[in-house]
Structure 1
């Protein structure tokens, strides 16, 4: 698909699929590091309480709208954004998510957080490896995964009126996001094949894939965490 683009003008060279995949996961892990490091800093310094007081109870809504806006803007303007802008939006999302994540230290014991983080890493790693190695076309399960997300949202709303659904919701969430991990990992290969003739779009597609994997890890972590008891 080479369309006459000069790879050297973008500061990159033609790279292998393995190298491209490794760089994509590198961006994802860097985003996770920013989120967890910033959330710990906010908790230790008490900055979370200041932000909470500033928005006077509207913090979850403000953060939710801001995070969705960043994701939609990045996805919609992939072809127009510069590589630097795409990376900047990715890390902006990671920082916004840190505000939400800082609250988990108020709800869960550190030992539970460490244990669940390790468990999430194992599940995520196994499914990412499967997605990278399998010859099966995982794009066929995309409609099922999207339906699962809609069902998950519907169940979450239903749980506001019917108690006792949380455990089932968490188990379904875990299944959905381990499947998404494999699907999104395989999608890296598809992006590599599709965009390899355009080095700029190839690098921006890597950021989008990193964001998708970041969201898979974060959601898997949160659903696993909710299966454990909250701090008394």
Structure 2
């Protein structure tokens, strides 16, 4: 005998999904997104901290002085960070998450060795002031990229081409030694990496919907941290040319 008091709670074909289910799914997505982005920021901040500690200790040990001699060691220290970036970027599908993790920390370390020479050029007070100014600017720009409804994807190609042009201008100025060109390059460099900070943040946020729950998500956190790390460090270095007081 049928029990007419029983209520079928199952959602049948053609039934309109309940609003509560959609809200719950959105809440789950938002929580996952916040966790994903927080992991990226934690990685990035830890990498910057490691770089700063290595740079300071290397400068105080006197080892940084040997990096300014212009010999083979100087070029190795200068080019090693770039080699790590290319290796991680092009080998992301080949390397495991554990390997990428080791490479990220190794990159942050050799970057610290490379940046140790700034303590021989600028005063510690001006380096600290520039660092905190960069941190404040980075936080504001990243927050803008995370919260804005404006699609920033169209700026990506423009900013990437700007980085290439910036690099070419810096190479040219190695021979010209023009203070005017150096100042212009520094100003444009700050603007480009400020734009990249906002753009990369939005890009990383948008990528989460395709990465969540996949094996690639862990790798994406490391590579996302690398992108934001590069934005921060480059913006800091270009800004240091304006704010830095030389010894």
Give the structure-1-normalised TM-score: 0.87
Matched, 1:112 2:126: yes
Q: Separation in 1 of the partners of 2:232 and 2:144?
A: 15
**Structure with the larger RCO, 1 or 2 (CA within 8 Å, 6+ apart):** 1
Alignment equivalent of 2:34, drawn from 18, 29, 51 = 18
The answer for the alignment partner of 1:58 in structure 2 is 72
Partner of 2:210: 194
The answer on 1:217 being equivalent to 2:232 is: yes
Matches within 5 A, 1:1-16: 16=32
CA contact (8 A) 2:126 2:244 kept: no
Asked whether the 8 Å contact 1:27–1:207 carries over to 2, the reply is yes
**Distance apart, 1:223 and its partner CA:** 0.2
Q: Confirm or deny: 8 A CA contact 1:191 1:202 kept in the other structure.
A: no
- Structure 1 partner of 2:165: 151
User: Shift of residue 205 of structure 1?
Assistant: 0.7
Which residue of 2 is the match for residue 33 of structure 1?
A: 49
The count of corresponding residues between Structure 1 and Structure 2 is 217
Give the match's secondary structure for 2:243: coil
Q: Which moved more, 1:169-178 or 1:189-198?
A: 189-198
1:181 aligns with 197
User: Which one of 89, 92, 102 corresponds to residue 75 of structure 1?
Assistant: 89
Structure 1 CA distance, aligned partners of 2:192 and 2:70?
34
Cα distance between partner residues in 1 of 2:126 and 2:115? 15
Counterpart in the other structure of 2:63: 47
- My pick for the range that moved more, 105-114 or 37-46, is 37-46
Say what the alpha-carbon RMSD is for the aligned residues.
2.0
Q: Does 1:208 align with 2:223?
A: yes
Rg (Cα) greater in structure:
2
Question: Which of 127, 151, 154 in structure 2 is aligned with 1:137?
Answer: 151
Whole-angstrom distance in 2 between the partners of 1:24 and 1:81: 19
Aligned residue in 2 for 1:96: 110
Deviation of 1:65 after TM superposition, in Å, equals: 3.1
**5+ residue gaps in structure 1?**
1-13
